[in-house]
Amino acid sequence: MADELSGGNAMSPGQKSGKRGIYGWMMFDWAAQPFFTVVTTFIFGPYFISRMASDPAAGQAAWGYGIAAGGFLIAVLSPVLGSIADQTGPRKPWIAFFAILKILALCGLWFAAPGSSLVAVVALFTLASVAAEFSIVFNDSMLLRIVPKSDIGRVSNLAWGMGYLGGMIVLIFIIACLAASPETGRTIIGMEPLFGLDPLQGEDARASGPISALWYAVFILPMFLFTPDAGGRRAMGTAVREGLAELKSTIGEVRQRAGIFRFLIARMIYQDGVNALLALGGGFAAAMFGWSITEIGIYGILLNIVAIFSCLYASRLDTRLGSKIVVLISIAMLLFATIGIVSTGPGFTLFGALAFGAADSGGLFGTAAEKAYILFGLFIGIAFGPVQASSRAYMARSVSEEEAGRFFGLYALAGRATSFLAPFMVATVTAASGSPRLGMATIILFFAAGLWILWTTPYPADRPDGKPATDLAV
């Protein structure tokens, strides 16, 4: 099975892939990103928050709790699966299994009509999120096997940029061909929605689930066909026992490798803020300004265009200056952007220090406050690709190929260990105060703390031979 999924090219340690294998690996991000772009952030999530729930505050709270539940499951199981994968060898069978779960859950979102059970819909979304993140653990752990360390930052950022391009293409398709105005019954380009979708029943937003599933099923195939997988295979029972034993040893080991431990703590905190901002930011804007699916989609397209070019630039910057500099700059920009969006509301920005009035010029984003929100959002677009792609490269440069699976499992744990905390805080503060703005403001704390810890973390976090890193320079 493993050889079939590897295209018959299992790899031995130290062997690197050719260009076709690298491009196949990069296509995973192209295939996976539409789920995060159109389901989590810009189409289905805002639809759920603003139209499925009784009011936006209740919708934001329910969506936040769903994200928190998924984050908890990912945090608990990612390091376990990473260690088991190191023992079984091949990663592709795991990716295939979780791909099936993700595809089925996404198709189920089609049935999320207004008035449907919020619990059932959140459960489907949570299952898709968990399956998506587990697939990413195994895909990320393949990076060291196929790319020389000198090229890791470049390839990682390019792959992330390809992902944003794929997500943007799907987003444009939904906005141009499916998302019709309830008033006119036509899309932004003046056509009737394909397949006769009814915007009053949210069918344009609900279709984002099956469309993302189809995109994923088709474009994940080059990775299976062309990217070589790890060789060797042990019986599952043996792999589970030895993987769990190795995980226990790894947790003890990472506490002795102070650089990696500090990096993982920093990532745990700032990635928590990234996850919450991406999952809740679109719904926050849609509820505050009353944006339609078309408007929130165009906002997403703008952010994705910026993200593509920022990843291309970061791929060179990472090679020249190192992953740490790229991550620090990105976190600082996300901190600034988050302060900006939570300080903006109808008629004002910067917590009212700059007042615009409520004049609406008509058309899309007709008020000055909306334009200010978009301006701050562009900083998110610039930063949220490089902060994740260069973090992946930071980790890959800090471990050896043989330990990649178990350490990328801990890396996923660090990205999700408290990932329920930021959405939980946003949801809880929102529910307690009745203010989505106050709830979103809690994300600022995560970026500030993560930035401070990473500033004092060595780069690479540890030498690949396991000895302490000595480069403490920023």
Which of the residue ranges 124-133, 315-324, 464-473 would you say has the lowest mean pLDDT? 464-473
Query: Among 189, 162, 194, 192, which Cα is nearest to 176's?
Result: 189
Quote the percentage of the chain above a pLDDT of 90.
13
Q: Is the pLDDT of residue 391 over 80?
A: yes
pLDDT tens, position by position, 325-343: 999 999 999 999 889 888 8
DSSP helix/strand/coil, 81 = helix
Report CA torsion sign: 423, 364, 208, 56: positive
Phi, psi of 166 (to 5 degrees): -60, -45
Query: Among 323, 309, 389, which Cα is nearest to 28's?
Result: 389
DSSP helix/strand/coil, 181 = coil
What does DSSP assign to residue 419?
A: T
* Omega cis (within 30) before 90: no
Residues sharing a CB contact under 8 Å with residue 208, sequence separation 6 or more, in sequence order: 38, 39, 43, 44, 109, 170, 174
State the helix-helix crossing angle for 208-219 and 152-177, rounded to 10 degrees. 140
Burial call 367-403: b when 16+ CB within 10 Å, e when fewer: bbbbebbbebbbbbbbbbbbbbbbbbbbbbbbbebeb
pLDDT tens, position by position, 88-116: 667 788 899 999 999 999 999 999 888 78
CATH architecture of 17-229+239-455: Up-down Bundle (1.20)
The residue ranges of every structural domain in the chain are 17-229+239-455
* pTM, two decimal places: 0.69
Whole-angstrom Cα distance, residue 42 to residue 324? Answer: 29
Query: Among 278, 285, 309, which Cα is nearest to 49's?
Result: 285
